[in-house]
Structure 1
């Protein structure tokens, strides 16, 4: 009697996470594109904006320049070239210090690039430009307990399958290695799905508004 011995093959996972290549212009352009394509409460904001790098200059670029060691990307192994990157997570270990550095090294050039009133009134771009010129600092009470903060964005093709959780846990591990005790993030108060996702990961709402959530990284 002949028996067929089954063979075992090891396949690579479709999605992998690696450090962002923050000095590669093509990858940076791709990350800016992802930022815009997730910039309308997770939906594509590119039809709304006439300035494709505006949103990234506000919510992405400074992290890539100032804390590249805390930038990670999700790569789709079935795609080649820059388009293989389908998501990113970025952060800073010390929000208060980061905001101070932005005032000296980032916001002045962004203000020159996007003067106040330079976008059509009532437009999507006008709302973003106003945030450039009407900035506020993070609540010191939040920073005292949760000094780090993060942003995470995934294109639809990168969502699901636990990719978002794995991206966040990659950043959490990097922050823990730096001795950071806690991290916070912002989310729309009406985005109950996102809030539920973060609460499932251990985040808790900070204050009555519910748009800021914090996670104790020491647990």
Structure 2
């Protein structure tokens, strides 16, 4: 008889998960689609949107793992302003040294855009009452099975245990399926921007 694949499981982050999280970040980094073609340096997206969170705010990163490895994750911080302070002091300096500013090579790749964000990170002023924020990503083969809901639920429970009143996130206007997903979870649009919208979820 053929071997039965082990079911996917959700669990807290372990340091060995980081490489898998970076792969998921890249493969979902183009408004939910695969961004591999857009980056010559595939680790850049992860450096911005996955890697710092389990280091800066331990206990708020969860992963979904199956026989293929890490297939999804949620990362978050309880205090966005404090997180940005931490990035400036601990995370960005070595990355700025390793990735000097570069111009647009004109070949469609977007490394220069992310490098510029590393050098000129835009601090976020969170909406009143929603100091936490998150990023969540799932590979296609795990989507539509409730894992996104469970990941955000695990993070929300951890934030509630810390007494955090609410969280926010940003989502691209092009990622209409993600917007609909967040709305089903109870998120509402707090501010609309040309690039997308900022959505909020009360935790109390």
Structure 1 and Structure 2 fold alike (TM over 0.5): yes
Say which of 167, 192, 200 aligns to 2:176.
Answer: 192
- Using the alignment, how far apart are the partners of 1:202 and 1:20 within structure 2? 25
User: Which protein has the larger Cα radius of gyration, Structure 1 or Structure 2?
Assistant: 1
Residue deviations 1:95-143 (CA, integer Å, cap 9, x gap):
0001011110011111112111166355211121121122211125x1x
Q: Does 1:84 align with 2:69?
A: yes
Contact persistence 2:192–2:198 (CA under 8 A) = no
The yes-or-no answer on 1:125 pairing with 2:111 is: yes
**Matching residue of 1:73:** 63
Structure 2 unmatched runs, 5+: none
Matched, 1:183 2:173: no
Distance 1:118 1:58, change over 3 A: farther
What secondary structure does 2:169 align onto?
strand
The within-5 A match list for 1:36-47 is 36-47=26-37
Paired residues of 2:44 and 2:114 also in contact (CA < 8 A)? yes
Question: Residue 116 in 1 paired to residue 116 in 2?
Answer: no
**Runs (4+) of structure 1 moved beyond 4 Å?**
none
In the alignment, which of 12, 16, 21 is matched to residue 9 of structure 2? 16
- State the shift of 1:84 in Å: 2.3
Structure 2 counterparts to residues 47-66 of structure 1, below 5 A: 47-66=37-56
Q: 1:137 & 1:103 partners in 2: Cα distance? A: 10
Query: In the aligned structure 2, how far is the partner of 1:90 from the partner of 1:118?
Result: 30
**Which residue number in structure 1 is paired with residue 154 of structure 2?**
170
CA contact (8 A) 1:70 1:92 kept: yes
Q: Distance in 2 between matches of 1:157 and 1:190?
A: 21
TM-score (norm: length of structure 1): 0.84
Matches within 5 A, 1:148-163: 148-163=132-147
Contact 1:119 1:129 in 2 (8 A): no
Measure, in 2, the Cα distance between the counterparts of 1:31 and 1:200. 25
For the aligned residue pairs, the C-alpha RMSD in angstroms reads: 1.8
TM-score where L is the length of structure 2: 0.90
Return the structure number with greater strand share.
Answer: 2
CA contact (8 A) 2:81 2:125 kept: no
SS in 1 for 2:40: coil
Q: Give me the whole-angstrom Cα distance separating, in 2, the residues matched to 1:61 and 1:193.
A: 25
* Alpha-carbon separation, structure 2, partners of 1:115 and 1:59: 19
